[in-house]
Amino acid sequence: MQQQIERVALAIALAKRVLVITGAGLSADSGLPTYRGLGGLYNGHTAEGLSIEAALSGPMLQRDPALCWKYLAELGRACLGARANAGHLAIAELQQLKPQCWLLTQNIDGYHRAAGSPPERLIEIHGELAPLFCQSCGAEDAELAEHLERPLPPRCRQCGGILRPPVVLFEEMLPEAAIASLYAELGKGFDLVLSVGTSASFPYIIEPVLRTREGGGLTVEINPGRTDLSDEVDVRLQGRALDVLPELLSHISAQGNCK
């Protein structure tokens, strides 16, 4: 694998435009359970006999905000209980080295921002868990942790309306600004795409990889297990992002001028 890492590091160093795509596997290295492993939350039905997709849906938030928030709180506590890891930090450093390195993430935990990834080159396609905002008056509330210690659903201090996070719930549309940003950058093309810790089950995750490969760019996957993308990429680096990304970065930095 060492030769492959050196090959990818050289390609990144020479590339002008880079896209890093991250999924739950990256944050799993922080101790945050992946989508299907959050305390068994997603492995069947809720105590109410609902699928988790129904409980964590936009319609449920409107119909029964207390029930929806019961499971949003599970997500919130899990995210607040972990921190950005060496993989997040390596990506942030890569973005500092490469002024045209973009980051597309499915994760809602905010760890990329915490690690220092520049917000102007960060596309959070599924939104994030904070800050909360009022569905009635629009006021922002940054105290997610405090609200999780109080009766749910959380209420707006200004008008008493129900608060919600700026996250994409089931049956809700993806944020227009994030989609527009993704396809604007995709239209410019990428020299290299790096898929990290994602099962790549969504079209908007798979498409950048396929389009980049068709355009002659290098496509790379970092994942401990095989995914839907494994047979579509040029290089597969098997391992945890926590281990592979810092090693990649050390080789990239050794290349000298990689802008």
Buried b (16+ CB within 10 A) or exposed e, 18-38: bbbbbbbbbbbbbebbebeeb
**DSSP letter string, 174-241:** PPHHHHHHHHHHHHH--SEEEEES----SHHHHHHHHHHHHTT-EEEEEESS--TTTTTSSEEEES-H
CB-CB contact of 238 with 1 (8 Å)? yes
Return the C-alpha torsion angle 10, 125, 55, 76, nearest 10. 70
Q: At 234, list the tokens.
A: 């040029």
Residue whose token pair is 């928030």? 69
Provide the annotated active-site residues.
126
CB 21 within 8 A of CB 221: no
